[in-house]
Structure formats: structure tokens, C-alpha cells
């Protein structure tokens, strides 16, 4: 997933649609691992996660939303 918000949104979607959430969105294995665990209709346990510190995840998202500078071609 791209962000903690994405994990939270998936958790909300799963809950809204009556899916079995094994472990709700949250930090697991330390503050850098943010995940939601759920089962598919066959009972297979699945997870969606992001592995980044909360600060890095915010900075990465903020950085990616910036405008790209266009390269001007030089005329000779």
C-alpha cells in the first residue's frame, strides 16, 4: 500500500462489506509496519501493509505530490 491512509481505507471497506477482519489497521512488529489482516471468502488469511516510518511515509507522499520541472530543449 502507498500509505497508512490506504491501509485504514481498506480496513473500513472490509468492515463495511462484512469481511472477517482478523487484526484491524494498526502497527505490528514496531512503528514502521502498519497493516490490516483479514480473511478471504475461503478463509485464507491475507494482509495489506506499508513498511515505512510514519514520518518517512508522510514525507514520501508529500514529495510525490510536488510538480515536476520540465526540461527545456536547447536550440543550437
Compute mean pLDDT per 10 residues along the chain, 76 residues long, and list them: 96 97 96 96 97 70 50 48
Residue 53 pLDDT: 82
- Listed residue (44, 66, 41, 63) closest to 52, CA to CA: 63
pTM for the whole thing? 0.70
Residue 54 pLDDT: 78
Amino acid at each position: 500500500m502507498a500509505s497508512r491512509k490506504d491501509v485504514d481505507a481498506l480496513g473500513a471497506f472490509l468492515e463495511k462489506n462484512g469481511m472477517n477482519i482478523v487484526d484491524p489497521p494498526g502497527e505490528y512488529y514496531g512503528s514502521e509496519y502498519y497493516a490490516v489482516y483479514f480473511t478471504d471468502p475461503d478463509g485464507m488469511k491475507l494482509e495489506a501493509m506499508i513498511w515505512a516510518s510514519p514520518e518517512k511515509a508522510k514525507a514520501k507522499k508529500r514529495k510525490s505530490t510536488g510538480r515536476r520541472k520540465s526540461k527545456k530543449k536547447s536550440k543550437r
